[in-house]
Amino acid sequence: MQANPITMDNLQLFETGDGSPSIFSNKFGVSYHSKYGAIQETQHVFIDAGLRPKALTLHHIDILDMGFGTGLNAFMTLLEADRRNLSIHYVGVEAYPLSMEIVADLNYAELLKAPQFAATFVNLHDCESDVSNKLNPNFSYIRKQTHFEELDYDQAFDLVYFDAFCPTSQPELWEEDLLGSMYRALRPGGILVTYCAKGVVKRTLKSLGFTIEAIKGPPGKREMTRAIRGVN
Ligand SMILES: C[S@@+](CC[C@H](N)C(=O)[O-])C[C@H]1O[C@@H](n2cnc3c(N)ncnc32)[C@H](O)[C@@H]1O
């Protein structure tokens, strides 16, 4: 990584506390990950609190990633699927894809000691939108270049990674409309995980029918949220 951040497309690459890179968006005024550690946060919030509990009961898991960004959630899910021989179908939604110039600077495959998957990490970003790709035997994937607000899924997923920018930056993405569409997108018993633990967000999720679990957050954050869809 370079000592000085690189600025491209109004985005700045920077190194987080665990040595992994993330991006600061000047447009939204926030970073894509916790400054304490991008890999550490993804591991804690999405893999440990979302994917692993789901994998206890399901071998095939349909995942909706709300905020594909750098592709780190997708990539760490692919590595976990490979390690545990899971079958994952993954839809990564992103309205503002990164340039391939920035993607080339994201050395996640090296940091995660998975250099054999470096080309697959690039494929996550450069495949055609809306087309299903079997990226490896354990992982099929659709890159969906659209706005979250356009989605209209009905009981299609077991797990939602809700990784929009924080409510202070994009409050409209944490209101009843979009969170309600996440409820409908999940199958009964489906799980939504997010790094956000704001009271108003938890109350909205609860009012939609989710059961809320406040669990310990990643380093630097006291709490995160796991929300479980009821049967209706
Ligand atoms: C917190 S970042 C996601 C971080 C990502 N999971 C990662 O590992 O890099 C939020 C993402 O949502 C995208 N985004 C913001 N508003 C959006 C919208 N209305 N629809 C779709 N994507 C949006 C941003 O471009 C950004 O990539």
Task: Dump pLDDT digits (tens) for 84-124.
Answer: 999 999 999 999 999 999 999 999 999 999 999 999 999 99
Dihedral of CA atoms 48, 54, 60, 61 in degrees, nearest 10, equals -80
Q: 92 CA to middle of ligand 1, Å?
A: 10
The pLDDT confidence band at residue 8, using thresholds 50, 70 and 90, is low
Locate the ligand 1 atom nearest the alpha carbon of residue 73 and give its number.
Answer: 8
- In whole angstroms, give the CA distance from residue 79 to residue 168: 32
Task: Dump pLDDT digits (tens) for 14-29.
Answer: 999 999 999 999 999 9
- In whole angstroms, give the CA distance from residue 81 to residue 42: 15
Determine which residue's CA is closest to atom 25 belonging to ligand 1. 96
User: What percentage of the chain carries pLDDT values higher than 70?
Assistant: 96
Determine which residue's CA is closest to atom 26 belonging to ligand 1. 69
> What one-character DSSP code corresponds to residue 115?
G
Q: 70 CA to middle of ligand 1, Å?
A: 9
The structure tokens listed for 74 are: 């997708």
pLDDT at position 232: 73
Helix, strand or coil, per DSSP, at residue 206 = helix
pLDDT at position 3: 36
Task: Dump pLDDT digits (tens) for 126-174.
Answer: 999 999 999 999 999 999 999 999 999 999 999 999 999 999 999 999 9
The pLDDT confidence band at residue 207, using thresholds 50, 70 and 90, is very high
Q: 54 CA to middle of ligand 1, Å?
A: 23
pLDDT at position 231: 80
- In whole angstroms, give the CA distance from residue 95 to residue 15: 24
Is 70 exceeded by the pLDDT of residue 176? yes
| Average pLDDT value for the chain | 95
Q: Residues 106, 112, 117, 123: is their CA dihedral positive or negative?
A: negative
Q: What is the CATH number of domain 35-228?
A: 3.40.50.150
Is 60 exceeded by the pLDDT of residue 5? no
3-state secondary structure 152-193: CCCCCEEEEEECCCCCCCCHHHHCHHHHHHHHHHEEEEEEEE
DSSP string of 17-61, one letter each residue: TTS-EEEEETTTTEESS-TT-HHHHHIIIIIIIIIHHHHTT-SEE
Determine which residue's CA is closest to atom 13 belonging to ligand 1. 67
The answer, as to whether pTM is greater than 0.85, is: yes
Pocket of ligand 1 from Cβ distances under 6 Å:
32, 67, 69-70, 72-73, 93-96, 147-148, 163-165, 170
